[in-house]
Structure 1
Amino acid sequence: MGPDIRTQSLTKPVTVAEYLFTRIHQLGIRSIHGLPGDFNLIALDYIPKTGLKWVGSVNELNAAYAADGYARCLGIGALITTFGVGELSALNGVAGAYSEHVPVIHIVGCPSTVSQRNGMLLHHTLGNGDFNVFSKMSSEVAVDVARLNKPSEIADQIDHALHECWVRSRPVYIMLPTDMVTKKVEGARLADLIDLNEAPNDPEREDYVVDVVLKYLHAAKSPVILVDACAIRHRVVEEVRALVAKTKIPAFVTPMGKGAVDETSPEYGGVYAGSGSQDAVRERVESADLVLSVGALKSDFNTAGFSYHTSQLNSIDFHSTHCTVRYSEYPGVTMRGVLRKVAERVDLKKLTRVESPAVKNEVKKNYEDSKTITQAWFWPRVGEYLQEGDIVVTETGTSNFGIWETRFPSGVTGVTQVFWGSIGWSVGATQGAALAAKDLGTTKRTVLFVGDGSFQLSCQEVSTMIKHGLDVTIFLIYNEGFTIERWIHGMEAEYNDIAKWKYTEVPEVFGPSPKQVKKFIIKTKEELEKLLKDKQFNAAKGLQFVELWMEKEDAPRALKLTAEMSAKHNVRLED
């Protein structure tokens, strides 16, 4: 066979793998999660050649969780698995990223194009000759599926997929056949970065929407701003904070939006989640005659069982794909440009403001004269322990609801998975978040709050934390089982119980040096106070593992309320 004419026509030929990983590096990613498998091994050889680091997780599900956590803190993440068995193990984690608008690049090493054309009976297949069956599954949780089968199209496919991943802030799926890894594509393209800017709104339509928003804002007597998850995911936090800073309008967050507003700001009014809110928060938001809602994702747990008591007639909703003013929708007019112009053009002389509720860490108010560590006391106490710039990861269940009662210092990044709610997600996500902080060159502390039941699902990822020398503090709430499930249904049911592990011994299984891991068993308020005031503990170097004892049936106030509503929804019959 003669020389490949297509390769000869390239001005700067590079392999497909080099092109793909260089593009990923250009996005700011420095570490790639995943596991090796025979269909991705050749591609993995190119990772260090392009300035990237291979993480090497313990299983594909944890790798997907970690890529999710990495993306939430760095902006975007990447994951590599092998065909079939590997990618399906990761699919739950990728689906969570999709549902919560997290940009994750999922690369799957797959059999060669020749094997696919011939329908060969290969391992990791279903034996039916269909090599696209798994990509079809993933297409439901990806905004773009790129099957890299034709060298002449591959560079365009990669660039398009990565653009979609960033701009739409959701996962993409890239299927890389073994015989395409070393094929050559045009490397000269790499000199020009992928344009990651959103398409601008039509100026005339945008200005019209801004005028309508300002009309209602200037007329309002008690406006508030409510910031939700998609404000963070679609990167308009800067615009939101600029609007709050200029207008001084009371600003609230939902559970999924926690961290989007500076909680030390006098305008910050707390967490609004319908009936699950503190009384002062609920009264202030629900009495507002105008709610500027940014990036709303009104799921059951994010709204405490769909318990919002606000009217669409008094709402203006800003989204990544459209804006809605009362009952009028403006498709294609996206929130970034509108928020910027509203902040620029608002007439402060026409604004009417009321004060926000005061938000404090109510430690003394929730103190009980007993040695027992209670949920009501613990979470405000956490607010006093946290430091500026911390990354705070909370697990589905107790921690996700408890953190509502914690007032963050300035610059804290909240990492939660309220909507998808995959138990065990937080351990992998913590590893990814801590690695992102390290890759960014920061000295941020990464702090995880996780229940004992959740930890048992994904504890192996502690091994990866140790492997990469990450600075992580884990507070494991030892309360003998699945607390959130108990409160929804089956307080004494056997299926909500778990085996009693010696949790502080778990890290030793993974072989760290004594300097890498510090472990503590804390059973009383006095012991916890001493620990939280310890300078060395607060320095948070290496892995710190705290086994924190709480009562089996104790739960945060918001969890109890939401669980009750969830239980009612589970048994509700159609009228």
Structure 2
Amino acid sequence: MSSQAVASLQAEVARLRHELQTLKVENQSSIADETMFVGQYLVERLVQLGVTKMFGVPGDFNLGFLDFVEDHPKIDWVGDCNELNAAYAADGYARINEGKIGVVTTTFGVGELSAMNGIAGAFSEHVPVLHVVGVPSTTQQKAKPMLHHTLGDGRYDAYYKASQQFTIAQAVLNNKDTAAAEIDRVLTECVVKAHPVYLMLPTDIAYARIPAGRLRTPLSVEPPANDEEVEQFVLDEIVKLVEEAKNEVIILVDACAIRHGVKKEVKELYERTGLPVYSAPMGKTAVSEAYERYGGIYVGSISHPEIKEKVESAKLILSIGALKSDFNTGNFTYHIPTQRTIELHSDHTRIQYAGFPGIGMKRLLPKLTSRLQPFKEGAVQFDVPKYEHPVPQEDNDEISHAWLWPRVGQFFKSRDIIVAETGTSSFGVLDTPLPPDSIFVSQILWGSIGWTVGATLGAAFAGLDRGLGRTILFVGDGSIQLTVQELSVMIRWGLKPIIFVLNNSGYTIERYLHGMTRKYNDISNWKWTKLLDTLGGEEGKNCKSYTVRTKQELSALLDDAAFARADVIQLVELVMPKEDAPRALKVQAELSGKTNRYVAEF
């Protein structure tokens, strides 16, 4: 049986147990006879899960439901410029609000299809997002008239079928008697499996009355229990391999350690065992980069030589939450043999060549920490060179990538949220050590350009929920043009991110992949410092804009106390050389270019 099948079976058992518990409470509850609308029930469940913001665009099939959202005192309707941006915002909100979900609401057909790219990205990168779709009434769905937003051929289920490719669970709420249970099932799957889910809410069902008693029982969102006998065997095997490795063991942390909520457990593991710890690019800031036993980012052959040597020479690698995509592994250049690898995942464990379905890391890690703690005295003998990224001395005043990233590294503070766009920004900031308790956000696997602008909106809201510091975005001049409208939403809500626009005249990552001088990698050069004023701000009052062209100008701005306080939304145009790029991007582009093989064969 596959790990996915075992995990699904365990989840179904947990759901049935929860259902029994809920029924008992409903029967005993003093509010069992009280009723509420289905739409209200959904909103109450979201509030119970800690959701404070809902993103999306109004449409005629979701307007009635949005009344329930707007009237609730504990959740805000944000209102985005388009559905794609809204999906990005829900994604960013969920990434920062670890353990909670993002929510995007669209209308039938035209709205939900626009959001689908954002939902697919969340699926790809294990981000829990609920997609609520307001759809025609159950009567209309049965009669199948040629309604607006349909394909004109009676296929009212076409978009639902499309959504199944990008969500872990779906529900069509066409029966009020099962609506509450279906809502609970889908929400539970979203949280437990850290993937997007899809909910069709017909206009009439949203206003159907149902018993309110289920709300007395909180959703069960803990991962399923591991089989005790198999778990014990797994622990014994890991301890045996650690003993054989004679202290030459390292921990490699990746994205799913964040997405599946084990950062705390991982911290206890590396602190109590003293094992050296490294991160993959998608796992950046899963481990505090100020920790004395943290060695830096491992990304296969792209890694800095001293990091590459330490990781690849270890006799045993304890890999936690790996997502082995091309950009996350240096184009699949991980030189770590399977026989030296243990992999911990949310729903399975691998020890060398053996797989153990259903043994999830959330419950395994505390027990593993306890078993490995006696090895600490030997583990700390294994040297971990501290990775540093000093600002280089260059003989010109151009803002180069080699200079930029270590320089802005000095600007970052503890608890900052740092969002980096696919391309030069995400590759550039990788080498920069970030302060304690800061959070790095990027979309390295899905890589949809423009994602960061919407994600920054969601991240900034989540940062307020969590009491975090500044939200800082690095985005290219090409990428921001796709989703720039969300700056207006940030202004309307009084959010105060710092937005660094890297103006290097086009799609730099594409130039390095193919077509350095091709016109298709060129873009229009906007008047960047006019954007905030155009999109609803008042320059000098509730927004500020800057252009910097030299190292001296940028350093002066970064050292300015008023700028650093981020009291208003600020946009900085960084004018940079057209054909410059971070070291890691150049190497990755060379590797990807060989893989793509855009060369004619004769």
User: TM-score when scaled to structure 2?
Assistant: 0.92
Structure 1: gaps of 5 or more residues: 1-8
Q: How does 1:52-451 map to 2 (within 5 A)?
A: 52-74=75-97, 75-221=100-246, 222-346=248-372, 347-348=374-375, 351-352=378-379, 353-363=381-391, 366-440=392-466, 442-451=467-476
Aligned to 2:44: 22
Mapped contact 2:54–2:78 kept (Cα < 8 A): yes
Mapped contact 1:446–1:473 kept (Cα < 8 A): yes
Change (3 A) 1:329 1:572: farther
Q: Distance in 2 between matches of 1:92 and 1:133?
A: 16
Aligned residues: 562
Q: Distance in 1 between matches of 2:37 and 2:560?
A: 53
Q: Distance in 1 between matches of 2:421 and 2:318?
A: 29
Cα deviations by residue, 1:512-538 (Å, 9 ceiling, x for unpaired): 133211111011111111111111111
Q: Distance in 2 between matches of 1:151 and 1:253?
A: 47
Aligned to 2:55: 33
Q: How does 1:465-504 map to 2 (within 5 A)?
A: 465-504=490-529
Aligned to 1:522: 548
User: TM-score when scaled to structure 1?
Assistant: 0.96
Mapped contact 1:231–1:237 kept (Cα < 8 A): yes
Question: How far did residue 10 of structure 1 move?
Answer: 6.0
Secondary structure at the counterpart of residue 303 of structure 1: coil
Q: Which amino acid aligns with 2:530?
A: E
Structure 2: gaps of 5 or more residues: 1-30
Q: Distance in 2 between matches of 1:393 and 1:562?
A: 20
The percent of aligned pairs where both chains have the same amino acid is 48
Cα deviations by residue, 1:387-428 (Å, 9 ceiling, x for unpaired): 000000000000110011110000011111000000000000
Q: Which amino acid aligns with 1:298?
A: K
Q: Which amino acid aligns with 2:595?
A: H
Q: Which amino acid aligns with 2:66?
A: L
Question: How far did residue 218 of structure 1 move?
Answer: 2.4
Mapped contact 1:217–1:351 kept (Cα < 8 A): no
Mapped contact 1:61–1:92 kept (Cα < 8 A): yes
Question: How far did residue 249 of structure 1 move?
Answer: 1.2
Mapped contact 2:321–2:346 kept (Cα < 8 A): yes
Mapped contact 2:416–2:468 kept (Cα < 8 A): no
Mapped contact 2:529–2:572 kept (Cα < 8 A): yes
Question: How far did residue 349 of structure 1 move?
Answer: 5.9
Q: Which amino acid aligns with 1:479?
A: N
Mapped contact 2:421–2:442 kept (Cα < 8 A): yes
Question: How far did residue 367 of structure 1 move?
Answer: 2.4
Q: Distance in 1 between matches of 2:547 and 2:405?
A: 18
Q: Is 2:67 the partner of 1:45?
A: yes
Mapped contact 1:220–1:351 kept (Cα < 8 A): no
Cα deviations by residue, 1:354-402 (Å, 9 ceiling, x for unpaired): 1112111321xx2212111110111111211100000000000001100
Mapped contact 1:394–1:416 kept (Cα < 8 A): yes
Q: Which 4+ stretches in 1 moved above 3 angstroms?
A: 349-353
Mapped contact 1:230–1:296 kept (Cα < 8 A): yes
Over aligned residue pairs, what C-alpha RMSD do you find? Answer: 1.3
Q: Distance in 2 between matches of 1:356 and 1:128?
A: 64
Q: Distance in 2 between matches of 1:213 and 1:193?
A: 36
Mapped contact 2:223–2:362 kept (Cα < 8 A): no
Cα deviations by residue, 1:183-224 (Å, 9 ceiling, x for unpaired): 011211112211111111112211111111111112213111
Q: Distance in 2 between matches of 1:53 and 1:324?
A: 43
Q: Is 2:33 the partner of 1:11?
A: yes
Change (3 A) 1:546 1:572: closer
Question: How far did residue 348 of structure 1 move?
Answer: 2.3
